[in-house]
Amino acid sequence: MRFALLLFDPEGYGESVTEAEMKAALAEHEAFARYLRERGVPFTGEALRPAARTLRPGPPGDLPVAADGPFVPPRQDLAGFYLVECAGLDEAEEIARHCPIGAGVEIRQIWDAPT
């Protein structure tokens, strides 16, 4: 099974973090990636910029309506993600407990659509 570990930072973190704090945060992510490799967990991950555009349904028969910002106005910014392969939600949670937390980590199973 594949799971997305969605990483959240406090709102405005990217604009307020010092260079030393950013360096420390990156070191935490390097350590987490090392943990995943040592454990043999297939993974990928990316950092996200805070700017976003969301498409929402328009009136019936119309094209979707674009809006700047995330779908739900959070008090945190979606900052990045890891995709990990593991046996189930319990293992995904156990793995996520080693991930730098920031403002939180949301664990979501990836829906594998039939091909």
- 35-53 pLDDT, tens per residue? 999 999 999 998 887 777 7
pLDDT recorded at residue 69: 59
How do residues 14-25 score in pLDDT, each as one tens digit? 788 899 998 999
Note whether residue 37 is domain-resident: yes
Q: Which percentage of the chain shows pLDDT scores above 90?
A: 47
Domain contains 59: yes
Domain of 86, in residue numbers? 2-109
CATH of the domain at 82: 3.30.70.1060
Q: Is residue 47 part of a domain?
A: yes
Q: How many domains does the chain have?
A: 1
C-alpha distances in angstroms, 112 versus 81, 85, 107?
A: 18, 12, 16
Three-state DSSP class for 56? strand
Considering the domain boundaries, does residue 114 fall inside one? no
